[in-house]
Amino acid sequence: MMSMVQNSSSIRRLLNSKRLYRGLSSTSAGINGSSLHDNGGGSNINPHYPHMFTPLDLGPDIGSLPNRVIMGSMHTGLEGHSIPKLMLPLLNAEDDHTDLTEMACYFAERAKGGVSLMVTGGVSPNRQGWVGPFAGKLSTETERDRHKLVTDMVHSIQIPSYGANPTEPARICLQILHTGRYAYHPFAVSASSTKSPISPFPAKELSTSDVKATIRDFVNCAVLAKEAGYDGVEIMGSEGYLINQFLVSKTNQRSDEYGGENFVNRMRLAMEIVTETRKACGFGFIIIFRLRML
């Protein structure tokens, strides 16, 4: 997937490729706003990729994606940081890195290449979930407003579509990432008091009330993302991060409603985050739950 979205001409090359889609004429296959049409015969569609450039219906409340090319989340280092301004002089920082112009341009360029839906790098819902000290976070209105530049720029890009509309705006979702015991800072928390082999900092066990507060932080982050113009959120539930730490018995040794041998209890955190996010954001908002099946 990464190789498909490295520059603005990537999807254009795919659209013009006879190997992927033989039915596109040279006058209609482009990412310049023109309509895309099959030459009239379904037999011209390459059997290996028959649906790649057809719309994907996400339901009446959300609408359709113009194609099925999705760019997964990657850590780009463009998500900004959350260092308080009063600390910047102490750190000799020449730039506070809260301007997300580079992040906006990065995703707009991928949208120009024809990617219909993109997911940002991980952004924490609270300080405990930081990847590292003062990493990107979305928990305040000030942080929300910085992201509007990103969503406005992405939505300004029109993607050619085979659907009822000749073009559709590109879409973008914010990934909500709580690192749990993977955090590289002394405020790390997890399902139980354990230490990750990739971090020198032992994690403190979240109390039951802390778990409920964390759920509220996830929901707050999603609401702020919606207000910032994001089309949805991806809740990071895999790769060993916090939600995954609750799902797995090795890292979840709790005895309350969020742990134990009962898998229903261990998945309660994930279920409540998704349920409460849907309640708060409504059905016109994309919710992706990232789950690794290996």
DSSP secondary structure of 94-145? S------HHHHHHHHHHHHTT-SEEEEEEEBSSGGG-SSTT--B--SHHHHH
Instruction: Determine whether 184 is an active site residue.
Output: no
Yes or no: say if 55 and 161 are a contact pair by the CB < 8 Å rule. Answer: yes
Candidates 181, 201, 83, 204; CA nearest to 129 is: 181
Which tokens belong to 195?
A: 């230490």
Q: Which of 106, 182, 230, 241 is catalytic?
A: 241
Say what the alpha-carbon torsion angle 217, 218, 219, 224 is, to the nearest 10 degrees: 90
Yes or no: say if 50 and 40 are a contact pair by the CB < 8 Å rule. Answer: no
180 SS3 class = helix
Residues with catalytic annotation? 241
